């Protein structure tokens, strides 16, 4: 109950538009969500990876389901360390981890660079980290800058997690808002939003109306 009260209070805060309710409540097991829904249903016909734009026809060991708003960041926001602790702090914890709007397919080797880095602008002097595979992704030990065609997807996933679960916006809001305008939703992202609604019952309102991001305020 305490976690739900905290969540409602955050959703009522000035920087959190009440757009997406309390997030999804149909997928409660993160592992099952990935194995039984994400790969076979959301990407059953293949797709492209988020950060590198690499096409694939089926899942495999070279691919992983990458969380835009990472588990580590969620735990930090909830101020808990273990999954059990986080579930006590906020009963929505496992729903957050299983939310399909926050998960994108990515190359496993790229995910290793993403995992402990925060999104930001790396600067023109930073070369593409995976140029050997034609991936326009800039990354340092602490910072990652996606290719332009992925920046809007990243921003809108973060906005969704913020508005749906009361999580803080980790990183520079103004930059994310710029990314949202630079890379508006394309047909693939809109189709993905439609399918996720069928699979877990929620839409990302920032894909339906990107201008909603202008209402957001940094915590």
Confidence category of residue 113, pLDDT binned at 50, 70, 90? confident
Query: Cα torsion at 182, 55, 73, 114 (round to 10°)?
Result: -90
Q: What integer is the mean pLDDT of 187-206?
A: 97
Please state the pTM of the whole predicted model: 0.90
Confidence category of residue 177, pLDDT binned at 50, 70, 90? very high
CA atoms within 13 A on the CB side of 161: 27
Given a cut of 80, is residue 55 above it in pLDDT? yes
Q: What integer is the mean pLDDT of 128-134?
A: 86
Say what the pLDDT of residue 69 is. 97
Q: What is the mean pLDDT of the chain?
A: 89
Given a cut of 60, is residue 19 above it in pLDDT? no
Confidence category of residue 21, pLDDT binned at 50, 70, 90? low
Say what the pLDDT of residue 15 is. 46
Given a cut of 80, is residue 5 above it in pLDDT? no
Given a cut of 50, is residue 13 above it in pLDDT? no
Given a cut of 90, is residue 141 above it in pLDDT? no
Given a cut of 90, is residue 142 above it in pLDDT? no
Weakest mean pLDDT among 82-91, 190-199, 210-219: 210-219
Confidence category of residue 198, pLDDT binned at 50, 70, 90? very high
Q: Find the radius of gyration of the CA atoms of the chain.
A: 16
Name the residue with higher pLDDT: 33 or 127: 33
Q: Tens digits of per-residue pLDDT, 60-101?
A: 889 999 999 999 999 999 999 999 999 999 999 999 999 999
- Cα separation values, 31 from 23, 27, 37, 110, 133, Å: 18, 10, 10, 20, 29
Strand partners of residue 22: none
């Amino acid at each position: 109950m305490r976690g739900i009260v905290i969540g409602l209070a955050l959703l009522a805060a000035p920087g959190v538009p009440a757009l997406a309710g309390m997030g999804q409540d149909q997928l409660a097991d993160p592992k099952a969500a990935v194995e039984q829904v994400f790969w076979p249903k959301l990407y059953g016909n293949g797709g492209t990876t988020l950060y590198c734009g690499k096409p694939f026809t089926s899942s495999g060991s070279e691919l992983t389901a990458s969380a835009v708003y990472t588990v580590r960041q969620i735990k930090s926001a909830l101020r808990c360390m273990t999954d059990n602790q986080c579930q006590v702090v906020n009963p929505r914890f496992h729903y957050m981890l299983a939310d399909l709007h926050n998960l994108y397919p990515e190359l496993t080797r790229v995910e290793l660079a993403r995992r402990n880095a925060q999104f930001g602008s790396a600067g023109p002097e930073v070369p593409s980290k995976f140029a050997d595979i034609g991936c326009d992704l800039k990354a340092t030990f602490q910072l990652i800058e996606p290719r332009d065609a992925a920046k809007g997807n990243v921003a809108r996933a973060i906005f969704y997690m913020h508005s749906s679960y009361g999580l803080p916006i980790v990183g520079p809001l103004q930059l994310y808002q710029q990314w949202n305008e630079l890379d508006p939703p394309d047909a693939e992202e809109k189709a993905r939003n439609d399918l996720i609604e069928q699979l877990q019952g929620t839409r990302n309102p920032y894909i339906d109306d990107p201008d909603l991001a202008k209402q957001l305020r940094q915590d």
